Chains A and B, each alone.
Chain A
Amino acid sequence: AQKVTQAQTEISVVEKEDVTLDCVYETRDTTYYLFWYKQPPSGELVFLIRRNSFDEQNEISGRYSWNFQKSTSSFNFTITASQVVDSAVYFCALSEYSGGSNYKLTFGKGTLLTVNP
């Protein structure tokens, strides 16, 4: 069975600090996708990134960057120069093919990030 672990339950930083959210996953499949979603206080999940298992290139998008390492089964997320608007719960998720045209998403328990002014 697949599993996603986000060991950091809560993180609190001061604005402009860099912060890294950890994600470790377990899967037996060779083909899978990894995701990060942001959940602001409103509750809706906002998609941030998708990475497939064959692409280990790190990605940067503005202040966000992701480090994918298959050797350690990790997909960590870094926010550079954090801002108050980054305060949210962040979920890491793993998608595995489960037959037909279906992919099943397994979520970690999330990391609550609070950025203080």
Chain B
Amino acid sequence: DGGITQSPKYLFRKEGQNVTLSCEQNLNHDAMYWYRQDPGQGLRLIYYSQIVNDFQKGDIAEGYSVSREKKESFPLTVTSAQKNPTAFYLCASRLTTSGGRQYFGPGTRLTVT
């Protein structure tokens, strides 16, 4: 089945550690996105990538980094510089001709203590 995979579902880290969240898609979509969701909040865009080896900052990129070495993969690293990293992280992808519709993965819930 085609879709987006995010692993793991739950992730726990100690404060001060970097952590990388995985996102893989087999939909052959060009664009990929990372969002952060906090309780009672909508989704906020962290980073997005339209093509391999290219990505742009979203609205809340500080403390995060990404790479796009392969079309299928768009990992997100939450660095120790991110002041409030505990959140639900959603990855999405989009077909160029889809008129904006994004397909979402199941999400990773990150807890940093």
Contact A104 B45 (CB under 8 A): yes
Contact A109 B105 (CB under 8 A): no
The verdict on B2 contacting chain A, using a C-beta distance below 8 Å, is: no
| Interchain residue pairs A-B with the least CB separation, the first 6 | A95-B100, A103-B100, A107-B42, A45-B104, A43-B107, A33-B100
29 contacts between A and B (CB under 8 A): A33-B99, A33-B100, A33-B101, A35-B101, A37-B104, A42-B106, A43-B90, A43-B106, A43-B107, A43-B109, A44-B104, A47-B103, A50-B99, A50-B100, A91-B42, A91-B43, A95-B101, A100-B50, A101-B50, A101-B96, A102-B50, A103-B94, A103-B100, A104-B45, A105-B45, A105-B102, A107-B44, A109-B42, A110-B40
CA distance A41 to B104 in the complex (A): 15
Q: A61 to nearest B CB, angstroms? A: 16
Interface positions, chain B 12-39, Cβ under 8 Å from A, are 30-31, 33
CB nearest to A108 among chain B residues: B42
Taking A43-B88, A43-B107, A108-B42 as contacts, is the C-beta distance between A101 and B100 under 8 angstroms? no
CA distance A23 to B67 in the complex (A): 34
The verdict on B48 contacting chain A, using a C-beta distance below 8 Å, is: yes
Contact B96 A109 (CB under 8 A): no
Q: Give the contacting residue for A9; candidates B40, B88, B101, B109; CB below 8 A.
A: B40
Contact A109 B94 (CB under 8 A): no
The verdict on A12 contacting chain B, using a C-beta distance below 8 Å, is: no
CA distance A76 to B90 in the complex (A): 25
Provide the A103-117 mask, 1 if CB < 8 A to any CB of B, else 0. 111011110000000
